[in-house]
Structure 1
Amino acid sequence: MTYTARHRMLAGTAAGLLAASLGVAVSATATAAPRTATASACTISTLPYPADTYRAEANAIDPSGRFVAGAALRVGESDNQYLLLVWDGQQVTAIETANGLDPVDVNESGVVIGNGWAENGVGRPWVYRNGQFELLPVLTSAGTFVSAINKAGDIVGYGYDIAAGEYVALLWPAARPGTVEVVNAPANALPTGITANGTIVGYAGLFGDETGWLRRPTGRVKPLAVPGGGSTIVNAAAGHWAIGQVWLGGSSPAKVRWDLRDGSYTTLDSELGLDDVNTKGVVVGGDRVGRGSTSQVLPGGGVRINIGARSISDTGAIVGFRNADRVTPVRWTGC
């Protein structure tokens, strides 16, 4: 569940595709911030990728650490050729796609979901499974986007309801293939994560006045907040953990991790990005990995070298990108 496609996912996806076409990296890395020492056991390695591509990156890793999904660009005869990359261990498969694509999640069965664009410029989600691309069913909308998939294959996302003039939370249930459902959630809801037991998290409301929420598998919806907090954005969830940011006053929001069992929360290191969390509560984002209330810098960065951690498995493996003279997909282990 990558943070590149959170609130304002419409804009975020478009920005990612534009950056890809220009050959630059999109990252929340803060290279000028003070850094803590990296752990000696923490190492970075480059994932294999097609030699004829000029940029490639890894976007998501499944909880078991086996499957990784990413994207690459190849220079074509008349235009850029977009490639979906799927790694099974160290073996990579490159799949040519007709339009720009943004893979956002992959589950333990190697099912990849992502967002793309229809010919009319409207956002259209897709799924890649059993070696085949499929467009997911959508409702009448000005754009539909997916954000997460769980072990069972349930997919969550959102669409813009033109008649109501607001976003609606959507579920593509694995038990009912080929269907999409509107799920009960607050008005203008954007789901950002779904756990293995079917708990959905997200946030809702107008820009600058968002509220966090969670929806249990029973259908019960509860707030996900911080006492006394203001605008709340929930970024991702795994197991009984969720991460996000809450305005508590001051010049920037506080970064927090919620325990979904009782709604309690802890404050995270302000330098830590909020791209993903695993079932152990370990958080990754930007150039850092965080446990508890502290974080450490991941290796591989440096002067004019940007790194970005996008996703973490339950085994602790982390994937993302490194941008030195070119953007390449990388994996961190032992961090």
Structure 2
Amino acid sequence: MKLITALTLALGLLVVPQTAAAATCAWRVSELPAPAGYSHATATGHAGTGLVVGTVWKTDHREGVVWRSGVPQVLPQPPGRGAGSNYPLAVNPNGVIAGRWQGSDGAHFAWRYQNGAYQALPNRGTWVSVPTDINRAGDVVGFSRLFFGGAQVNALLWPVATPGSYVDFGEAAPRGVDDSRRVVLSTGRVVNADGTSWQLQGGLPSAYEDGRLVGYRGTASPYTIVEWNLSGQVLRTIPDGVPTGVNASGVIVGVHTNGGPRCGATAAWST
């Protein structure tokens, strides 16, 4: 699952209806401690089941960590990789983790971690690959680019059933993958597991989580938040915002784009 939702979970955001946001905006903090001998813990993904992944600092590099009900466990470094930093980025309810390795020698690779073992996810040629989401089966989506900061980004799917392979969706970024292996792309293309696809209308998606698809429309601020069903029909619109995450209950986390009730620059909307 995605970073913004992981941070919401880690910080314990008190979700409120839009009309009450200004009056009751508050945070309930639940600390995710760094293990002994480490510091600077950062959450990067969660499974909504008490499983959170992230990184911690150790001397001169970052190591991966998984918190189970708030208790941290440092992941082993990928074998045979020398010095470098390890970045878990997504975890599913079964504890399967996806992330990337960045070696001190400049080497990069994406990985899937399960039952104490790493599985390398193939790069797109010499491009850097970065996982962003994982479903219950262990199918991983992410993006690939020629180098960090490069302009072109391609969306990839690494199917768990065919290790060592990937599906390239072309120039786009993934917004999420579900348990049926449906992938939503930043371009508005929705790709089914059998390879068929259709184009979302009336906006661009920002997040696809827990079966909910949200995005925004407009060419300039203030944008309008849009939620679609999986047939592409608009379920609701919310003025003044860009969504960054959504849960199964339909609570949307996002950023205000032009006034309105605020908690800093962020807010939460619920039905």
Select which of 122, 146, 159 maps to 1:173: 159
> 2 CA distance for matches of 1:37 and 1:52?
41
Aligned-pair CA distance for 1:201: 0.4
The answer to whether the 8 A contact 1:62-1:106 is kept is yes
Matched, 1:254 2:254: no
The structure-2 alpha-carbon separation of the partners of 1:35 and 1:239, relative to structure 1 and needing over 3 Å to count, comes to closer
Counterpart in the other structure of 1:217: 193
> 1 CA distance for matches of 2:216 and 2:241?
12
Matched, 1:144 2:129: yes
Counterpart in the other structure of 1:2: 2
Aligned-pair CA distance for 1:112: 1.3
TM-score, length basis structure 1: 0.61
Select which of 231, 242, 248 maps to 2:213: 242
The size of the alignment, in residue pairs, is 238
> 2 CA distance for matches of 1:59 and 1:166?
23
Long gaps (5+) in structure 2: 5-19, 78-82, 256-265
Map 1:147-296 → 2, pairs under 5 A: 147-160=132-145, 167-176=153-162, 178-183=163-168, 185=169, 187-203=170-186, 211-226=187-202, 229=203, 232=204, 234-246=205-217, 248-268=218-238, 270=240, 274=244, 276-285=245-254, 287-292=266-271
What percentage of aligned pairs have identical amino acids? 27
Aligned-pair CA distance for 1:138: 2.5
Tell me the secondary structure at the aligned position of residue 24 of structure 2: coil
Q: Which has the higher contact order (CA 8 A, sep 6+)?
A: 1
Long gaps (5+) in structure 1: 5-33, 204-210, 293-335
The structure-2 alpha-carbon separation of the partners of 1:168 and 1:39, relative to structure 1 and needing over 3 Å to count, comes to closer
1:46-103 alpha-carbon deviations (Å, 9 max, x no partner): 123324333112222214x2311111113x2xxx231211012232202364423433
> 2 CA distance for matches of 1:86 and 1:71?
8
Tell me the secondary structure at the aligned position of residue 37 of structure 1: helix
Matched, 1:36 2:22: yes
TM-score, length basis structure 2: 0.74
Tell me how large the CA RMSD over aligned residues is.
Answer: 3.1
The answer to whether the 8 A contact 1:160-1:166 is kept is yes
> 2 CA distance for matches of 1:48 and 1:101?
18
Matched, 1:86 2:43: no
Aligned-pair CA distance for 1:35: 5.5
Letter in 2 for 1:220: T
> 2 CA distance for matches of 1:132 and 1:272?
38
The structure-2 alpha-carbon separation of the partners of 1:149 and 1:264, relative to structure 1 and needing over 3 Å to count, comes to same
Aligned-pair CA distance for 1:188: 1.0
Map 1:74-153 → 2, pairs under 5 A: 74=58, 76=59, 80-95=60-75, 97=77, 98-118=83-103, 121=106, 123-153=108-138
1:219-270 alpha-carbon deviations (Å, 9 max, x no partner): 21111231xx5xx3x3321243122333x13334333332223432533463
> 2 CA distance for matches of 1:252 and 1:243?
16
> 2 CA distance for matches of 1:252 and 1:3?
24
The answer to whether the 8 A contact 1:170-1:180 is kept is no
The structure-2 alpha-carbon separation of the partners of 1:118 and 1:140, relative to structure 1 and needing over 3 Å to count, comes to farther
Matched, 1:45 2:24: no
